[in-house]
Amino acid sequence: MPSASAPTYAAIDFGASSGRVLAGRLVDGVVTLTEAARFVNRPVDLPDGRHWDLLGLYAQALEGLHAAGPLAGVGVDTWAVDYGLLDRDGRLLGLPYHYRDARTDGMVERSFARVSREDQYAVAGIQTMPINTVFQLEAERGSAALEAAERIALIPDLLAHWLGGELVNEATNASSTGLLDARTGRWSHALIERLGLPADLFGPTVEAGTTIGRLRPGLGLGDAAVHAVGSHDTASAFAAAPVTGEGGASTSAILSSGTWSLLGLELDAPVLTAAAREANLTNERGVDGTIRLLKNVMGLWLEQELSRTWHLHAAELQRLAAEADPDVPVLDIDDPAFLAPQDLPALIADRCRRTDQRPPATKGETVRTVFVSLAARYRWVLEQLEAVSGREIRTIHVVGGGVRNQLLCRLTADVTGRTVLAGPVEGTGMGNVLMQLRAAGELGSLSELRQLAAASADPRVYEPAPDRAAADQLYRRFLAVAGLDAAATPA
C-alpha cells in the first residue's frame, strides 16, 4: 500500500470560467487531492473577436506545478471544441478563439450545405451546436491562419505539448470536434475531405492513459512524465463518477455540473440512430474506448453571468434562491439567446413575458428560475436518453462544482424523480489523476479505476420528494414553454 511519500501527480484542470492545479496522490487505498493553485479564466476581447488568454493560463499553470512540489506526472484537461493552429515550425498562429465568439453565426447552415446534418451525424454522432469545432473551422475558411496551418491542436493537446509532450490529438477531446469517426475513434478523413478541410491538419490520435513525453528541462520542474488523460474535462469527470455496486453504470446517469451541464450515459458503442439525432444527443469518446451518450445543457454559466452582473458570490445567489417563492416561471434554458447574453436578467424577463409568465420579481426568484429550469431540462434529457438507449435510469451521479449547489441538487432529485448522489466536487481533477495512475501502471481495468473512484468519494444523497404531483405539473409547464414533447417510454 502506498505510503505518505507516494508519488504526486499534478492535474491541470481548466474549466471555461476558472483553472486549477491539483496535486493527487494515492495513499492508503484512496486518492487525495490538494489544491496547489486556482485562478480565474477570463476571455479577452480583441478587435477581431473574443479569445482565450491561453498564454496567461499556461503561465499560471506553471506556477501551480511549481507549488505542487516534486512531480511524478502531469496531465491536462480543459473544455472542448476550441483549438490552436500551428505552423510548420510548431508556432501558434494567433490566440485561440473563444467558442462564444460570434464568428460562428450562420456557420452551422453553411457546413450543412456542404455535408448534410444527417451525413455528419451518421459519421461523428455529435450534437449540433454552433460552438463545435467543425463549425468554427467553417468560419476559419479562407483565413491567413488556416492557410498557413500545418497542424491543429485542441487546447489540452496544445498545453501538454508546450509542457514537453508529443503533439497528438487525444481521443476524448477530438471526438467533440464533429470530425472523428464515432465507431473507430479515429479522424474521419472521408468526412474531412467532403467538408473541404485540410486533411494534414489532423495528427495522430491517442487514448487517455497514454504517456506522451517528459516535462521540458527548461521548465525547472524535473523530468516528470506528461500523460494524455481524458483531456476533455467531461471525460475525466465521467471517469471519476463512483458508479459501482448493483446496477452500476447500467442504471446510472452522470451529470458533470459546471459552466456547462453535461448529462449522459456511459455506453460500449455509439448510438447513431435517427432518434438520437433528432434528440440532438452527442456520442463522445470516454476513457477505455467507451462512449458518453449525453447532451450539453446550458449549465451554471447562467448563475455565473448573474453573479457577474450583480457582483454577488454564487453562495449568496443560492441563498437568495433558496429563500425565494418556489412558484417561479420556467425557461427554455437551451435557447441560443442564453449562449452569450448582453443583459441576462433582462433577457430572462423578456422570455417570461413572451411565454405569458410573470417575470421574476426579485434576484432570488431570478436565480431560482434558472435552477428550476435546469432541473426540468435534466428530466427531459433523461427521458430522451432512456428512450434512445432502452435503459431505465434510477440514479444521477453529479460531479464537479455543481455538487456545492445544494438547492440545484435537491431540485434535480425532486423534478426528475431520481436519486441524486452528489460528489466528488473535484471530479474532473480526480479523473485526471486516476488516468495518470493508469498510465503509470498503478491501475489496471476500468472496473478497478471505478472502485478506486468510489473509495475516494463520499457523495451526498438527495432522495426525490415522494409526492410527484407538483414536480409533474412543473414539468408539463416546462415542456409547454420550451415547445418540447415528453419522450416515448423506452422499449
Residue 438, C-alpha cell as written in the block: 493508469
Please state, in angstroms and rounded to a whole number, the distance separating the CA atoms of residues 20 and 64. 8
Residue entry with cell 478587435: 47
Q: Would you name the residues annotated as active-site residues?
A: 233
